[in-house]
Amino acid sequence: MAVRTPLRPATISPRRSVPPSIVRPHYVESTGPADLDDPMVKDADTVARMRVTGRIAANALVEVGAHVEPGLTTDELDRIGHEFLIEQGAYPSTLGYKGYPKSLCTSVNEVICHGIPDSRPLADGDVVKIDITAYRDGVHGDTCGTFYAGNAAQDVRDLGERTHEAMLRGIRAVAPGRPISVIGRVIESYAKRFGYGVVRDYTGHGVGPSFHTRPTILHYDEPRARTVLEAMAQETAVVCSDIPALREVAGDAAHFVAADDTDAWVDALTVLLGDEAERDRLVTAGSARVANYSWERCARETAEVYREVLSG
């Protein structure tokens, strides 16, 4: 990965205005707490409003990301995002949050997150993480994405694509009755395949009426994160009939995945077994017949068994 000159802060422009007709979050111009203790389980009305606001934020992210190019300043990206949200009748959640001066975050290259847009022009090959949040109808919609200015190096693009895939795998690991630790377990397990580490200084979080609320979502494996997602109907899975140890561990913990989705099964079994060392021990100890099984082969055969069960 190419070595670049470390970033230096540039000039921050004045705070952008918001029409008085747009409702502000409670923390704007307030000395009270910025975030409240929202219920983790939202009612149907709150979820419906969050879907609308989340879509506004997602569309804003796409709009801002489309303008990332060499020579453009991150302050200009802030203007684009600010105006997009205002046109949707939404308030830019970051603006005024704990004194934050801008309507989105732009974190360039080595900046992990929460970078403040300023007058520095983007350079060819820069990586830009855009974090933009909308507030409308009493709820926040929070989103973030990675974009490249010009021609980013291939190893940089590999990092971005694999990070995106790790996020999707974490999302797929979410299921009722599971502890939230499974999310970070899947993410870290996938990242380790490529020799990547996982940032531990920042976390994911709940969202809703408050900008940041429970639960805290770690992106790495932490067994002590035991908050359990709301339980629903029991789910079962068939796991490698040739490996009794794996089948016994599975119990009712695995979530339904596409029967032919090998990658999803790899992640599901990673969740069940906790770590790669335990996984490999069970694969080799489960049966003398399968001592040479690869993890991917185990997952593939699991999918085949599962398909048979579903069809018959």
Q: Which residue has the higher pLDDT, 80 or 284?
A: 80
For residue 128, give the H/E element and its range.
strand 127-136
Q: Is-contact 232 177, C-beta < 8 A? A: yes
pLDDT of 175: 80
pLDDT of 3: 65
Q: What's the start-to-end Cα distance of the chain, in Å?
A: 51
Span of 82-96, 211-225, 264-278 with lowest mean pLDDT: 264-278
Residue carrying structure tokens 């693009």: 157
253 confidence band (pLDDT: 50, 70, 90): very low
Mutual angle of helices 262-273 and 276-285, in 10-degree steps: 100
pLDDT at 286 over 90: no
Q: Is 54 helix (H, G, I), strand (E, B) or coil?
A: helix
Q: Where are the domains of the chain?
A: 44-217, 244-311
Q: Is-contact 54 80, C-beta < 8 A? A: no
DSSP assignment of 69-106 equals -TT-BHHHHHHHHHHHHHHTT-EETTTTGGG--SSSEE
Q: Is 15 helix (H, G, I), strand (E, B) or coil?
A: coil
What radius of gyration do the chain's Cα atoms show?
Answer: 22
pLDDT at 301 over 70: no
311 confidence band (pLDDT: 50, 70, 90): very low
Question: Residue 242 class from Cβ within 10 Å (0-12 exposed, 13-18 middle, 19+ buried)?
Answer: middle
- Partners of 167 in the beta sheet? none
Residue 134 sits at φ, ψ, to 5 deg, of -110, 145
Share of the chain above pLDDT 90, in %: 56
pLDDT of 177: 80
pLDDT of 83: 98
Q: Is 272 helix (H, G, I), strand (E, B) or coil?
A: helix
Residue carrying structure tokens 């185990």: 298
pLDDT at 292 over 50: no
Task: Establish how many alpha carbons lie within 13 A of residue 296's alpha carbon, considering only the half-sphere containing its beta carbon.
Answer: 1
Q: Is-contact 143 133, C-beta < 8 A? A: yes
Condensed to tens digits (0 to 9), the pLDDT of residues 122-164 reads 999 999 999 999 999 999 999 999 999 999 999 999 999 999 9
pLDDT at 68 over 60: yes
Average pLDDT of the chain to the nearest whole number:
80
Condensed to tens digits (0 to 9), the pLDDT of residues 19-38 reads 999 999 999 988 889 999 89
pLDDT of 250: 39
DSSP 35: S
pLDDT of 12: 97
Q: Which residue has the higher pLDDT, 29 or 86?
A: 86
pLDDT of 240: 35
pLDDT of 271: 55
User: What residues contact residue 35 under an 8 Å CB cut-off, 6+ apart?
Assistant: 27, 210, 211, 212, 213
1 confidence band (pLDDT: 50, 70, 90): low
Architecture of domain 44-217: Alpha-Beta Complex (3.90)
H-assigned helices in the chain: 44-65, 74-87, 154-172, 181-192, 244-250, 262-273, 276-285, 295-311
Q: Is 142 helix (H, G, I), strand (E, B) or coil?
A: strand
Residues 144/145/149/153 CA torsion (nearest 10 deg): 130
Condensed to tens digits (0 to 9), the pLDDT of residues 184-207 reads 999 999 999 999 999 999 999 999
178 confidence band (pLDDT: 50, 70, 90): confident
